[in-house]
Amino acid sequence: MIVPFSQLPDHSRIWIYPSSRKFTDSEIVQLQSDIEQFLTDWTAHGASLSAGYCIPHQQFIVFSLDEANQQATGCSIDKSVHFIQSLEQSLSVRLLDKMNVHYSQDGTIHVVDLKEFKKMSKSGQVFPDTTVFNHLVTTKAEFESHWETSADQSWHSRYF
């Protein structure tokens, strides 16, 4: 069952799928349709899941699940990963690559691999106050307060 993202409680679980590139306007329309269909049908042991989504910056897919009534199970999480994999194929993007760092400079979101981000921090191309996206947040409250943050306020701080 789809619940508007804004109406999900702060304790809702979060999954963030960062794209290797920004989605086009037409891809956003298709994504919205595909995601809404998936979330409408998403279940755990036959029980409907109360979930929502958002697509911030046209570059991230974020699922949020209120587990107060029904928790996600291994099978339901597998279904969501298979769905994301199908999006990777249809859109020719990477959404499951956990070795990429997303950061913002001059209003543009950049994607680099972790090794490159380390080099950039040492050479002064990115700074402790550079805006980064912390994909390790696990709840909607953390997402809203600590997902888009300065590098010195996230796990990225170890590189400075």
Considering the domain architecture, whether residues 26 and 83 belong to the same structural domain is answered as: yes
Considering the domain architecture, whether residues 128 and 150 belong to the same structural domain is answered as: yes
Considering the domain architecture, whether residues 82 and 122 belong to the same structural domain is answered as: no
Q: What is the pLDDT of residue 102?
A: 98
Considering the domain architecture, whether residues 142 and 113 belong to the same structural domain is answered as: yes
The one-digit pLDDT tens for each residue of the chain (160 residues) are: 899 999 999 999 999 999 999 999 999 999 999 999 999 999 999 889 999 999 999 999 999 999 998 899 999 999 999 999 999 999 999 999 989 999 999 999 999 999 999 999 999 999 999 999 999 999 999 999 999 999 999 999 999 9
Query: CA 131 → CA 15, 29, 76, 90, 153, distances in Å?
Result: 20, 27, 33, 30, 10
**Residue 8 CA from chain centroid, whole number:** 16
Considering the domain architecture, whether residues 110 and 146 belong to the same structural domain is answered as: yes
The pTM score is 0.95
Query: What is the count of structural domains for the chain?
Result: 2
Q: Which amino acid is at 84?
A: I
Q: Containing domain of residue 41, as a range?
A: 5-91
